[in-house]
Structure 1
């Protein structure tokens, strides 16, 4: 077996170079959302190709993804008969609008007094890119197994990669998939994610009037579309805040517990504000459904006038539990919305997307090897944790290789990373430990495969 101390020492020695690479990547505002400049996204794709070429990988290329941004791909052969490991990350990032009130420039990385590196994408998911870079550097030219690289360019928006992967299964077949786009509860505490909630989304449009009318002359009898929308949305939760929709599955969590201090710190809940829902905290965020209103087409307060609104549209996201069927769960949500007709208003519901939930087979030899590698790199026991986030590509990878293992880990700690929010950051120590863990995992899996 590989020597964990030697690998950890090599990862530590590599860190100045790794962090310099990370800072270069953070400076590229690779926002793939519609309406944003596509040039930085394409520049980021080229930068990722260069990153892996500098790590010694030959044959790195950009593959055109129909209707989407290209993905970075490489297929690097190792010894004959050895297992194949695919390394995944994504190079696009969330927007960082002024309304988020960053304390520093989001696309100018800065190391603050706490030692963390701040910047949009520093954690999600450019940390994953440099973890893969560091792993490839430590493995060197003589790879112990076959490796593939897949880096997506639109994970944060509506991705087109899933269909591309499913249409080209021979390119993406592997024995183990390493998804470096998640992380532990807190820095220094290794977490192996064993379940992901899925994410389904739809829009609901409510219509009550043919056109806006004066609220003084007609209010009180003519129904306002916004008021009708509020009544519809109120039916999605009970008095405890639990999501209550007929046909939507719920469950309970049996792994390591989500610690309240970690959750409270990471979620930024105000001191006197109560939690939603019932059951354990782990149940609520990892094993039960939750509906969120993501946005609504409305006049803002500065533009509001004394009128009844004729039409309002809202976009809803529902996190669904591991083991549930995404299509069925979305249909249950949409059927519930269609059935809500306050004052006989017109209700139209349209599908936006289905992101399937996922549960890991913890007995799979590659998952056992991953847990062992984490323990060796961190020097402490590993927690089996869940995630309320979804990674849509996982379901497609399962279709391509049903027997393949999905390893979910990374440097995005729950307590402090603040992914998708202001002042996103990453702890360099987590990147260092994850480089060591990932290297150990590949070396040990390759050795077991030869055995």
Structure 2
């Protein structure tokens, strides 16, 4: 497979590239309008929420795909959740066959979103798209409905400019349960393997170095999330009558969880590994600004800041079931349940990290506390092979779409299903891109999309599609 020479940073873009950029820019208002309509649909895959909203969301995405006019077929499909009698959430699969020896690119994003959390923490309603100060606010505005619209808008631009000369094969897979663990993802890939087969896969679910500098994600941490129940009593007891002689579950839980970290906050779990790799310069001041660290709070860990986020493990307690403050009484708690979420350094499997965490917690359970581990959700990290032709095309498209040199990024978060893509399509080149910037606040109140970043992301992907159309297999 060969690719044409790309314009260098010092050369002006070709007439076709200029037309692509102009057309992509002119399509941004329509793309943002469509994005706003998607944001208004509260599609959350958790069973506690109205599941018909996910069906609405999938149908809306399918209509957008159909409206591009480039796909041979567009379907809304579900796949079984392995090991259960359940079906996964609705996903959209669109397919256009390659012509005249051109390659096929698979475009991925997801249409489900995180729950909004406490509405009182939002400055504007979470499902009412609102523009202020150059950003579009709303749940899913960045993660990941903007990823969907970057695909749609770039396809619109390329199909308008190339018209009958568009020979590139395009598959589009818009998942409906990424925020809920992609439980049917692997089965969906297996069920639709031929329709999804591609030479390159763009996963538009990551971020950028900053709002003006594009990033190509080349490493991802894995994850190991699980629920832990801690029991010390078979019933609640009076804390005054027995306190001081009887350990309650909260006391045992606090003591045990504290052993997960060293004094500096780094992970103290034997068997959880680190990756040794260089990182770009990144200051504590930048960390404080982007993460919202309070003035009197210090960072944790050791080594360079980005090594702590990209190449080392982390452990976070993300949920706890215990007596609420409002219902507090003078009682020794018989049991406490916590949810632990660990991020796993690239190069170690989620299973290995989970086993290390279990062994550590069992070894450090005080006073013989009874531990029960359930609901493990495990995912492996990912390291990109950056030597492929599609990676080179992507970097060039980023440079020209943003008018800035792209940065190779590691990401502290996880996209576990990429391991499924690699397993199912080992020959495909994986390109992890995104429309988020460090202030997007994905998963948090006041999630937002930086509008200029979105414009550049659409321009980048449109250029990439056009240039891939020149590749002959």
Smaller-chain TM-score range?
over 0.9
Quote how far apart the aligned CAs of 1:99 are: 5.7
Residues 1-400 of structure 1 aligned to structure 2 (within 5 Å)? 3-56=16-69, 57-66=71-80, 67-98=87-118, 101-112=121-132, 114-140=133-159, 142=164, 143-168=166-191, 169-400=193-424
Secondary structure at the aligned position of 1:316 is classed as: strand
Contact 1:185–1:258 (CA under 8 A) maintained in structure 2: no
Once the two structures are superposed, what CA deviation does each residue of 1:31-66 show, in whole Å capped at 9, x if it has no partner? 111211111111001100011111223411111122
CA distance in 2, matches of 1:209, 1:83: 63
Would the alpha carbon gap of residues 264 and 100 (structure 1) be closer, same or farther in structure 2, given more than 3 Å must change?
farther
Would the alpha carbon gap of residues 359 and 258 (structure 1) be closer, same or farther in structure 2, given more than 3 Å must change?
farther
CA distance in 2, matches of 1:412, 1:258: 18
Quote how far apart the aligned CAs of 1:338 are: 2.0
Quote how far apart the aligned CAs of 1:239 are: 0.3
RMSD (Å) for aligned C-alpha atoms: 1.5
Quote how far apart the aligned CAs of 1:219 are: 0.4
Quote how far apart the aligned CAs of 1:391 are: 1.2
Once the two structures are superposed, what CA deviation does each residue of 1:276-306 show, in whole Å capped at 9, x if it has no partner? 1001011010000000001011111001110
Consecutive unaligned residues of structure 2, counting only runs of 5 or more, are 1-5, 7-13, 81-86
Task: Indicate the larger mover: 435-444 or 418-427.
Answer: 435-444
Quote how far apart the aligned CAs of 1:72 are: 0.4
TM-score (norm 2): 0.92
Partner of 1:441: 464
CA distance in 2, matches of 1:257, 1:54: 44
Contact 1:325–1:357 (CA under 8 A) maintained in structure 2: yes
Contact 2:24–2:462 (CA under 8 A) maintained in structure 1: no
Secondary structure at the aligned position of 2:154 is classed as: helix
Would the alpha carbon gap of residues 352 and 383 (structure 1) be closer, same or farther in structure 2, given more than 3 Å must change?
same
Quote how far apart the aligned CAs of 1:8 are: 1.7
Quote how far apart the aligned CAs of 1:364 are: 1.4
Contact 2:102–2:471 (CA under 8 A) maintained in structure 1: no
Partner of 1:419: 442
Would the alpha carbon gap of residues 409 and 104 (structure 1) be closer, same or farther in structure 2, given more than 3 Å must change?
same
The count of corresponding residues between Structure 1 and Structure 2 is 448
Contact 1:30–1:91 (CA under 8 A) maintained in structure 2: yes
Contact 2:279–2:307 (CA under 8 A) maintained in structure 1: no
CA distance in 2, matches of 1:237, 1:70: 40
CA distance in 1, matches of 2:360, 2:100: 54
Contact 1:364–1:405 (CA under 8 A) maintained in structure 2: yes
Quote how far apart the aligned CAs of 1:405 are: 1.1
CA distance in 2, matches of 1:261, 1:43: 43
Contact 1:232–1:340 (CA under 8 A) maintained in structure 2: yes
Residues 400-419 of structure 1 aligned to structure 2 (within 5 Å)? 400-414=424-438, 416-419=439-442
CA distance in 2, matches of 1:299, 1:411: 40
